[in-house]
Amino acid sequence: MSSTIRDYASVRRAIASLLKQPEYDDGSAGPVLVRLAWHSAGTYDASTDTGGSNGAGMRYEAEGGDPANAGLQHARVFLEPVKAAHPWITYSDLWTLAGVEAIKQMGGPDIAWWPGRTDYVDDSKLPPRGRLPDAALGNDHLRAIFYRMGFNDQEIVALSGAHNLGRCHADRSGFDGAWVNNPTRFSNTYFKLMLEREWREKVLDNGVRQYVYYDEDAEEELMMLPTDLALISDKSFRPWVEVYARDKERFFGDFARVFGKLMELGIRRGEKGEVVNTDNLKGGYVS
């Protein structure tokens, strides 16, 4: 039966062909797909081995309704036709692959990706809310969140470079605007602007505090989150911002490795690459 042939190249092509969305945001579904992949994985807690992309828990209200995930229903809706055309793929594989493929299509690096996640969810083991970062906070918070997943300072900076893509939406996070002029093209511009521009604090009408800079050439106001600018006020983070601002290849290489690691959090694989813990639980349940 053709439906049992797991043609991931076909899934990749289907994802690539839905990226162009003239009516949506900056004309691309890419950035919100990257955010879906990240939020699906970024709930991981290494100490209890819970959370992570396995299970695709965001399909359910407990996780999907977390205010941190506001707006990601758009990403899930974009992917429904791909799921319909490839019903054998799990949502957890589809969401992670969509992030990886979107980055590539937007000019970013090739990221290693392996299938095998399942959509098995144990309700009692859903990650609690509050595991994703809060952009209004600072360095201590960033470290608490990302160390919990098993990342170090360099990896936190590299991952943050995803903010080259997409924008903030006042009706989703409360923050508003894009980080760079060309937010559907993956690059290291975010790091350059962070260092080179004079950011000033702005309090939005909704009371949310962010940083802005008016770009005369583009006639556009660009933005940074408090957590973005926290990276340059920290003596351990800042050197990596400087490295990635001047060395795009280094950023692409490090980003590819660390995004790949993010997609694998909580997934344990056997000798042939098969996933051996299909329910996010220690010890594992093998389907």
Is 169 one of the binding residues for ligand ZEM (CB under 6 A)? yes
Find the shortest distance in angstroms from Cβ 155 to ligand ZEM.
Answer: 9
Which residue number, 14 or 145, has a Cβ lying nearer to ligand ZEM? Answer: 145
CB atoms closer than 10 angstroms to residue 33? 31
d(CA 217, CA 232): 25
What's the min distance (Å) between Cβ of 266 and ligand ZEM? 16
Element holding 24 (H helix, E strand) = none
Q: How far is the CB of 268 from ligand ZEM (least distance, A)?
A: 22
Tell which one of 51, 241, 259, 266 touches ligand ZEM (CB under 6 A): 259
Restricting to residues 127-166, name those near ligand ZEM by CB under 6 A. Answer: 133, 135, 142, 159-160, 162-163, 165-166
Alpha carbons 94 and 197: distance in angstroms, whole number: 38
Buried b (16+ CB within 10 A) or exposed e, 44-71: bbeeebbbbbbbbbbeeeebbebebbee
Q: What's the CA gap between 263 and 270, in Å, rounded?
A: 17
- For 111, the 3-state DSSP assignment is coil
Count the residues of the shown chain that bind ligand ZEM, applying the rule CB under 6 A: 24
- In angstroms, the CA 15 to CA 79 distance is 7
Residue 168 interacts with ligand ZEM (CB under 6 A): yes or no: yes
d(C-alpha 193, C-alpha 205), whole Å: 25
Torsion of CA 165, 171, 177, 180, to 10 degrees: 0
Quick check: 51 and 262 in contact, CB under 8 A? no
Identity of the residue, 115 or 138, whose beta carbon is nearer to ligand ZEM in the bound complex: 138
Task: List the interface residues with ligand ZEM, window 173-202 (CB under 6 A).
Answer: 173, 175
Catalytic residues: 39, 179
Which residues, 41 to 80, sit near ligand ZEM by CB under 6 A? 71
In angstroms, what is the minimal distance from the CB of 5 to ligand ZEM? 31
What are 4's two structure tokens? 């049992």
Q: How far is the CB of 203 from ligand ZEM (least distance, A)?
A: 16
Closer Cβ to ligand ZEM, 135 or 278, answer by number: 135
- Residues lying near ligand ZEM in the complex (CB under 6 A) are found at 31-32, 34-35, 38, 71, 133, 135, 142, 159-160, 162-163, 165-169, 172-173, 175, 225, 227, 259
